[in-house]
Structure 1
């Protein structure tokens, strides 16, 4: 056995944790291949959301989140990751190539991040305010280089509502988009998709004026009473919204945005905060321009994250995931 490279059990464990990363509609659009110390990540075109994500932007954001999760997992196993991003315009599926050195010295915070991988969930209900005004700044700092994170002020909320309505209007009569959304959301599949229990009820959805218009759950459940006071246009949601922007709008920018998304949501999970990623506001050109005007010096807006104090109990069941054997091959 070569002690200078991770063995297959280590890689299998790390990839299993990496695949807990958030992905668009929980599509998990990735494949991994390990060969003699090198782990290659590929986009899975069979899981591209053709109607919602024809450019593959959200697909690569999802892959970037998985890369960051992998880094966290390997650090806890005392392996440092060295990532080469390899998105190319020639249509190659390869996203990144990763090598490892046995010199990581994890600290307590690294193990907190590891535990957060298992605990993190997307919460589509309304949030109470952040417990500390400085919390948003700490989350912003977690993103690292290559991505600008802007904490949007409260007076930006009407523009966010406008962008939501523009996005919804464009999609409302798009039969392909609606069919795709209903394929991925509200079905209790064993391996992927958004389960029924993770969807907001109609009452919960009405309290969040900037959320994506997912279908109602097939199995209605009683909605916990919100613990926040109604606040005018948004009625209940008092979340803080973070905007993630990049210098350009190319595949490498999308991957780095996904890495930042993972870092922010894991830090929020450690702080016992709720998060919900909003990608629908940057899917449509008209709504994306509204978002861009909120922070014109922050780069190209890629996604937004609602973050706040949860007002509802966390789901009891894990979100379904594909098995490692389905996404990882060994040379």
Structure 2
């Protein structure tokens, strides 16, 4: 038989004292009307316990209890002694000692951890609990200790099967409101405790009733998932000077905010000062995670919690909680609540009872892997001279010899070029009118620079900046590429001659004004349609390099396929040991101070992320988190970042050259820079999405070097989709893949090394 809807809301038992005629009649009527009641009468054993508790120093013999009980009853019939309590939801009728004697016996074993005077104080306290997962455990623990006089429970949810991993209750309670389940279980522990249920959870509408109805709360326990309510309830608690306790069920973290003692204290220890509760109300679980990480401090989370956060709304619905952690939270939360209410604990703060630290596995803790060994040394002036002396160059006639100051200006422009992770792999030496371009492999050594592709694209872009800047000064660079085939460290020798007005010089000179303005623009903005004529202009600049080919993709279905390919490649790279190291240690500058000091890498501020998003990003800094994700085939959230990025792209642009070799990667870098400068001139945002081009060559031009077998299989599948979409063959030099969009200009740009670190001028 299904319970009626109203029956699901009943949580208050009925009391019958049979020495009161009206209640005795009601009791008899109940038993007559209900043929299937479950009567439970253990009043005699309770009286034994009562008498024993009243005579702790006396060893009472078993045969003495009957006479003592008879004397205690004073002529009253034992069946009518005390009180009968009826629990409608279970149809149980239970015979109990009445309130004072019941409390005396039930709390007997609290003595003297909780004295009678302290019990009396607690019996006058009002506690509110919001959220009944961890809150359920705290509520029941407080009830067992009789740590309150009134308990207000707020939760809008009903019990589901998946809740039973952490809420200790029976399957028969599925579909019952969580507040009702908790209130019923409290009543079954102690029917004399006063419990009030707020079935809608805590809302702005019922907040006054929850906090002050029938008297102001003495303490608030926050265990709700609603971030807006977490903030709003704390603002209310601070206004009313009510302390707040919160357990996170991770690493045994307990949060205490003593607004009663510190009424000006910032809520949640100041971690959410920039968060507006109105704007986070409708966030998905996935979107809440950055705020949660900011609130809790990503560095404070357990390894498994960090890894799980990445998987929310990917392979799991929401953040996980374990029964053991929730049970621990119930114990710790109830203990601190009691001590606050008894004026025995006064601090605010965050406290940890991390069982994995307290009871660790023997042996060493998991360690971060050692950094990859860089086999190269920084390129010295002496080494550059040796390379020059070992090379032969064609003699260029009609050359001019620019002044050193002109060379400095040109190199300053060259070094404004983009490079992978802003590694700036170039060095320059100027001697007797010839400028030499070198590849500093020490700076470019990385997982991303497979077969030096990325470096030579960057070197080509740097040379293109120099070339355009020189044209603007009225001189023309003459390039000799790779004069020394035995060493790819010496990339080119450059001479100069007076310029003659040519179509190319007229075409390119205007771009010189955009060299220092050009930047990666990761800012998000609504999708805007860019006219085909504008895209054609960009294509003309890119294809002005011989053999360069530009492909445009604007179809929504095509963009969706690209987003999946790019996202999967981003994930494969981040889950790769060397790729992860590159991202965390080689590329990213996690603080402004680091960026200002190094003058290279990617300043995290250029990502345009909020503080909460930065907290989410910092989850993946830990290599152990990455290893955990790989262990359960996770990390799909990384795929979603590309989907979000591509979603507001006006177009994706791809540049290729006919053959896979370093010369074409160099020339491709020049083509890329022309397009990028032209896009800057047209106020278009360029956001490179190049992980596929750095990973695909590992399967098309090697046997999967540096990749695990699973990644090789997935990359081959992704490559098939890519070829089908683009029509490209494996031998083309795939140079550049980028998002083109309309977005606000970035406020912060990546920095560059001082020119004296990259340019040597030989004085004669």
Aligned to 1:148: 549
Write the deviation string for residues 259-280 of structure 1: whole angstroms up to 9, x where unpaired. 0110000001111111112221
SS at match of 1:5: coil
Q: Comparing 25-34 with 112-121, which one deviates more in the overlay?
A: 112-121
Q: Distance in 1 between matches of 2:666 and 2:506?
A: 27
User: Is 1:164 aligned to 2:552, yes or no?
Assistant: no
Match of 2:606 among 193, 198, 220: 198
In the TM superposition, what whole-angstrom CA distance separates every residue of 1:227-279 from its partner, at most 9, and x where no partner exists? xxxxx987841321111111111111110110011000000111111111222
Q: Which residue of 2 aligns with 1:32?
A: 428
CA contact (8 A) 2:669 2:735 kept: no
Query: For 1:153-232, what aligned pairs fall within 5 Å after superposition?
Result: 153-154=554-555, 155-183=557-585, 184-187=587-590, 188=592, 189-190=595-596, 191-201=599-609
Shift of 1:81: 1.4
The structure with the largest alpha-carbon Rg is 2
1:67 aligns with 2:500: no
**Do 1:20 and 1:118's aligned partners in 2 also have CA atoms closer than 8 Å?**
yes
Structure 1 range deviating more: 67-76 or 145-154: 145-154
Corresponding residue of 2:499 = 103
TM-score (norm 1): 0.83
1:129 correspondence with 2:540: no
Aligned counterparts, 1:305-320, within 5 A = 305-310=738-743, 312-315=744-747, 317-320=748-751
**Post-superposition offset of 1:174:** 1.6
Q: Indicate the residue corresponding to 2:726 in structure 1.
A: 295
Say if 1:69 and 1:117, in contact at 8 Å, map to a contact too: yes
User: How many angstroms does 1:300 deviate by?
Assistant: 3.9
Deviation at 1:40, TM superposition (A): 1.1
For the Cα contact (< 8 Å) 1:62–1:258, is it kept in 2? yes
Worse overlay, 321-330 or 129-138:
129-138
Between the two structures, name the one with larger relative contact order (CA 8 Å, sep ≥ 6): 1
How far, CA to CA, are the matches of 1:328 and 1:17 in structure 2? 12
1:37 Cα deviation from its structure 2 partner: 1.7
Deviations 1:85-106 (A, max 9, x none): 2187644311222111112549
Q: Which structure has greater helix proportion?
A: 2
Write the distance in 2 (CA, Å) between the matches of 1:235 and 1:75. Answer: 36
Contact 1:281 1:291 in 2 (8 A): no
Task: Indicate whether 1:45 and 2:416 are aligned.
Answer: no
The residue matched to 2:551 in structure 1 has which SS? strand
Q: CA deviation at 1:294?
A: 2.3
Please report how far the alpha carbon of residue 148 of structure 1 lies from its aligned counterpart in structure 2 after TM superposition.
0.9
Output the aligned Cα RMSD: 3.0
Matched position secondary structure for 1:245: strand
Q: Which moved more, 1:142-151 or 1:161-170?
A: 161-170
Q: Judge conservation of contact 1:42–1:96 (CA < 8 Å) in 2.
A: yes
Distance 2:497 2:457 in 1: 26
How many Å apart are 1:170 and its aligned residue?
A: 2.1
Distance 2:758 2:603 in 1: 20
Of 243, 258, 263, the residue aligned with 2:654 is: 243
Equivalence for 1:266: 677
Correspondence for 1:329: 760
- Contact residue 82 and residue 99 of structure 1 kept, 8 A: yes
Gaps of 5+ in 1: 206-212, 219-231
Aligned to 2:406: 10
Query: Structure 2 regions of 5+ residues with no counterpart?
Result: 1-397, 622-642, 697-714
Question: Once the two structures are superposed, what CA deviation does each residue of 1:144-202 show, in whole Å capped at 9, x if it has no partner?
Answer: 21211111232311221221233134224222221221122133323111112111427
For 1:229, the equivalent position in structure 2 comes to: none
Distance 1:109 1:169 in 2: 40
Alignment check: 8 A CA contact 1:125 1:204 kept = no
CA change 1:215–1:243 in 2 (3 A) is farther
1:92 aligned to which of 485, 488, 491: 488
Q: Is the partner of 1:321 in helix, strand or coil?
A: coil
| Partner SS state of residue 31, structure 1 | strand
How many residues align? The count is 308
Does the CA-based 8 Å contact 2:664-2:733 persist in structure 1? no
Q: Counterpart of 1:272 in 2: which secondary structure? A: coil
**Alpha carbons of structure 1 residues 148 and 323: separation in structure 2 relative to 1, 3 Å:** same
Which deviates more from structure 2 when the two are superposed, residues 184-193 or residues 136-145?
184-193
